[in-house]
């Protein structure tokens, strides 16, 4: 319904230069027991103004992917190979100062915990104004005026007074709005939301998602949404990337992924969602548990739990592009 | 690094660097309840002041300290005599109700009250300036180490270790003796340069834990520069430990200064200090001249306690998360 018309209206997806191209990204972490490959050969594109969701369980590498794009992976983590091309520049090759200029100006990020993501010792207006001034030569007064404007934009009531509040004066939902205001301060081209609603209760969650959806129409920012909640991405995004064990399983439009999942993992994930009218039935679960990141099976990481496992699965499948344009990493679709 | 404050007025602010203008912002997404009742927020400094006022002991410490500072400034005017005048015939006098002999006299006939009034200046100067020096070095070394980690941290911490292992008192005695002592600037420098290690360690450990806080990561993710994150975002959050360790340092330095005077390698005549008065009293205590060590000792005790009380209150008052009951 609305989904199709919306997609038809949006600019043609696969044409033009993408805003962001992640190519064969690897991010490793050194641990006492060996190297963990948190992100293991991930590639995807984000078009200008698009909204892409990355879904996966804990440990699937979705958050590390976003931190890698921001180049905020810290010791003991490092990025051994891959490239992240943003507006023609490889972010992995920039020096720290160049990268600092991109953060908050071209790519901004909202974190999961609105409780701890604001500095307790400054007013929220101060913190928004700071982000403005970190990127533009404007005076204090102009930055504060901008902060009030942003507060209004993200729907904080009595914005001109709330800017003088400290984070502890605000509720979780309000703080997340402040975080979004900070992220939007310099009109970024890409907004990364890392589990933006996980720490909030359900009604506030819906408000924040509404806000992000509305803002997207207003400010034409591409959105990369990281979440474990497939319902949230289905609602918010045009495209979905499903990750498991540091690898991409399937990447397609929301319509394709939700209505017609191809990868056995995506199918399992969707089957595990309780549906309306399910009474007294057990939920379908994916058998087994996520393997330890230190003992990821060779080849397809999902093969130890996959109902369709084959001998060939011990080799990592190459990318299969199906007729409908979606990308699946699974031997089932080898032709 | 930091751009100068340019107050943008009229023409310039119209061409704001962001395309999203106030026109957009006016179309608010949620209903803006402009007319809802919002309690007028109390200013942060008002809250700090209120919390401080409620802290009875801190208030006492603060008042005492103000009196001591006034004494340090005006002491020489109040003193019945100068350190240079003495009266052999009035030596070893017990306290009596008389401004000059209120605290008795020493063996040379110097009024003890003269020691107290003139000595306040030296004790407070040493305590405060050596602490300022210690805190600056300690905060710099600790925050750089804690923020950057890795080899920078390793270098900073080994440097800290070296200063921690220096035998403080022997070195102080040696250096004081070498320069002839008596020079207060030198005493301050020595004390400050040799004692910043614990502060550095404390600040570093705080920075390590702050480093993993989300607001630091969020500031980074939005392009705030490292020096700004360190000193604007992390340091104020570590301020309480700096204040506590500083007040302890003030007390420690006042005592240390008294100690080196006592050992005869610090201040000496014609300068006077509380430590010197204590030192001189040593060989006369057996004669029953209890007033001689008592009053300088009390002065030290009161000063050190006042500073500690004040620090305690400041720490609590500056905690923005604390509630006013």
Per-residue pLDDT of chain A (335 residues; tens, 9 = 90+): 444 444 444 433 455 788 999 999 999 999 888 889 999 999 999 999 899 999 988 888 899 999 999 998 888 899 999 999 999 899 999 999 999 999 989 999 998 887 788 988 889 999 999 999 989 888 889 999 999 999 998 889 888 889 988 888 888 889 999 999 999 888 899 999 998 888 788 888 888 888 888 888 888 889 999 998 888 898 889 999 999 999 999 999 999 999 999 999 999 888 888 877 777 777 788 888 888 888 888 888 898 888 888 888 888 888 888 888 899 999 988 76
| CA distances (Å), origin A49, targets A86, A239, B114, B309 | 14, 12, 79, 58
Place of tokens 């890795």: B150
| CA distances (Å), origin A47, targets A93, A106, A107, A224 | 21, 14, 14, 11
Give the minimum alpha-carbon distance from B35 to chain A in angstroms, rounded to a whole number: 8
Mean pLDDT is lowest, of A41-50, A155-164, B95-104, B221-230, for B95-104
Round to the nearest angstrom and report the end-to-end CA distance of chain A. Answer: 32
> Is residue B136 included in any domain, yes or no?
yes
> Is residue B282 included in any domain, yes or no?
yes
- Give the mean pLDDT of B240-246: 84
Round to the nearest angstrom and report the end-to-end CA distance of chain B. Answer: 42
The answer for residues whose C-beta is within 8 angstroms of residue B201's C-beta and 6 or more apart is B142, B157, B160, B164
pTM over 0.90: no
Here the CATH number for the domain that contains residue B278 is 1.10.3720.10
Please confirm whether the linkage preceding A76 is cis (ω < 30° from 0): yes
CA nearest B249: which of B311, B318, B185, B167? B311
Please confirm whether the linkage preceding B270 is cis (ω < 30° from 0): yes
> Which among B215, B226, B227, B228 is the top mutation candidate for probing chain A, defined by the most A β-carbons within 10 Å of its own β-carbon?
B215
Residue B230 CA, distance from chain mean position? 21
Angle between helices B197-211 and B150-165 (to 10 degrees): 160
Mean pLDDT is lowest, of A48-62, A287-301, B24-38, B55-69, for B24-38
C-alpha to C-alpha distance for A167 and A124, rounded to whole angstroms: 6
The answer for residues whose C-beta is within 8 angstroms of residue B35's C-beta and 6 or more apart is none
| CB nearest B13 (choices: A105, A142, A164) | A142
C-alpha to C-alpha distance for B150 and B73, rounded to whole angstroms: 47
Is residue A322 within 8 A of residue A333, CB to CB? The reply is yes
Q: Do B41 and A168 touch (CB under 8 A)?
A: no
Place of tokens 């300690």: B138
> Is residue B191 included in any domain, yes or no?
yes
Q: Do A120 and B237 touch (CB under 8 A)?
A: yes
**Neighboring chain B residues of A164 at a CB cutoff of 8 Å:** 41
> Is residue B18 included in any domain, yes or no?
no
The residue of chain B with its CA nearest to that of A148 is: B25
**Neighboring chain A residues of B20 at a CB cutoff of 8 Å:** 149, 153, 184, 187, 218-219
User: B179 is in which domain, residue-wise?
Assistant: 78-83+102-309
> Which among B25, B43, B218 is the top mutation candidate for probing chain A, defined by the most A β-carbons within 10 Å of its own β-carbon?
B218
C-alpha to C-alpha distance for B78 and A130, rounded to whole angstroms: 51
> Is residue B214 included in any domain, yes or no?
yes
| CB nearest A100 (choices: B32, B217, B225) | B225
> Is residue B6 included in any domain, yes or no?
no
Give the minimum alpha-carbon distance from B33 to chain A in angstroms, rounded to a whole number: 6
pLDDT in tens, B252-278: 888 888 888 777 777 776 778 887 788
Q: Which residues are A222's β-sheet partners?
A: A190
> Is residue B61 included in any domain, yes or no?
no
> Is residue B46 included in any domain, yes or no?
no
The residue of chain A with its CA nearest to that of B36 is: A158
Whether B287 has a pLDDT exceeding 50, the answer reads yes
The secondary structure of residue A331, as a DSSP letter, is: G
CA angle, residues A77, A82, A88, in degrees to nearest 5: 120
Q: What pLDDT does B320 receive? A: 62
Structural domains in chain B (count): 1
With a threshold of 0.90, tell me whether the complex ipTM lies above it. no
Q: Do B221 and A131 touch (CB under 8 A)?
A: no
Place of tokens 């360790």: B245
Is residue A127 within 8 A of residue A119, CB to CB? The reply is yes
């Amino acid at each position: 319904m609305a989904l199709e018309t919306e997609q038809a209206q949006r600019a043609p997806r696969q044409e033009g230069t993408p805003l962001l191209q992640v190519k064969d990204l690897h991010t490793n972490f050194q641990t006492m027991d060996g190297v963990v490959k948190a992100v293991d050969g991930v590639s995807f594109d984000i078009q200008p103004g698009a909204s892409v969701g990355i879904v996966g369980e804990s440990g699937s590498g979705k958050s590390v992917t976003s931190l890698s794009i921001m180049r905020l992976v810290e010791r003991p983590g490092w990025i051994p190979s891959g490239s992240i091309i943003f507006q023609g520049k490889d972010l992995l090759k920039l020096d720290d100062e160049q990268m600092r200029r991109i953060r908050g100006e071209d790519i901004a990020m909202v974190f999961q915990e609105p409780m701890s993501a604001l500095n307790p010792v400054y007013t929220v207006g101060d913190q928004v104004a700071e982000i403005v001034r970190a990127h533009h030569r404007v005076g204090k007064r102009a930055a504060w005026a901008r902060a009030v404007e942003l507060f209004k934009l993200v729907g904080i009531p009595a914005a001109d007074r709330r800017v003088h509040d400290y984070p502890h004066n605000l509720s979780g939902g309000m703080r997340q709005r402040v975080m979004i205001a900070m992220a939007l301060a310099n009109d970024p081209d890409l907004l990364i939301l890392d589990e933006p609603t996980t720490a909030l209760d359900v009604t506030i969650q819906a408000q924040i998602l509404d806000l992000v959806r509305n803002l997207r129409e207003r400010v034409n920012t591409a959105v990369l949404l990281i979440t474990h909640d497939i319902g949230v991405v289905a609602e918010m995004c045009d495209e979905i990337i499903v990750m498991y064990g540091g690898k991409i399983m399937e990447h397609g439009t929301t319509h394709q992924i939700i209505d017609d999942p191809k990868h056995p993992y995506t199918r399992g994930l969707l089957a595990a969602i309780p549906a309306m009218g399910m009474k007294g039935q057990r939920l379908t679960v994916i058998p087994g548990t996520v393997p330890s990141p230190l003992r990821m099976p060779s080849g397809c990481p999902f093969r130890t739990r996959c109902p369709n496992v084959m001998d060939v699965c011990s080799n990592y499948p190459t990318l299969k592009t199906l007729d409908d344009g979606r990308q699946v990493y699974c031997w089932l679709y080898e032709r | 690094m930091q751009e100068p404050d340019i107050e943008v007025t009229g023409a310039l602010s119209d061409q704001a660097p962001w395309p999203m203008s106030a026109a957009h912002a006016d179309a608010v997404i949620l209903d803006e309840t402009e007319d809802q009742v919002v309690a007028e927020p109390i200013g942060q400094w008002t809250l700090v002041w209120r919390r401080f006022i409620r802290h009875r002991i801190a208030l006492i410490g603060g008042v005492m300290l103000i009196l001591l500072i006034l004494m340090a400034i005006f002491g020489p005017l109040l003193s019945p005599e100068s350190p240079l005048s003495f009266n052999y015939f009035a030596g070893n006098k017990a306290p009596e109700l008389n401004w000059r002999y209120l605290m008795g006299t020493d063996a040379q006939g110097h009024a003890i009250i003269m020691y107290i009034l003139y000595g306040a200046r030296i004790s407070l100067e040493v305590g405060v300036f050596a602490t300022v020096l210690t805190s600056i070095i300690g905060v710099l070394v600790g925050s750089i180490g804690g923020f950057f980690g890795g080899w920078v941290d390793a270098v900073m911490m080994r440097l800290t270790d070296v200063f921690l292992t220096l035998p403080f008192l022997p070195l102080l005695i040696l250096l004081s003796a070498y320069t002839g002592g008596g020079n207060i600037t030198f005493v301050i420098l020595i004390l400050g340069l040799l004692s910043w290690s614990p502060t550095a360690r404390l600040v570093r450990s705080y920075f390590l834990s702050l480093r993993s806080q989300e607001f630091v990561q969020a500031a980074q993710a939005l392009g705030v520069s490292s020096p700004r994150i360190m000193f604007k975002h992390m340091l104020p959050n570590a301020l309480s430990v700096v204040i506590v360790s500083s007040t302890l340092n003030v007390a420690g330095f006042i005592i240390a200064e008294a100690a080196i005077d006592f050992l005869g390698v610090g201040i000496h005549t014609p300068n006077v200090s509380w430590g010197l008065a204590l030192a001189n009293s040593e060989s006369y205590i057996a004669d029953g001249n209890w007033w001689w060590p008592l009053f300088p000792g009390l002065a030290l005790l009161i000063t050190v306690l006042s500073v500690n009380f004040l620090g305690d209150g400041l720490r609590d008052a500056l905690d923005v998360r604390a509630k006013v009951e």
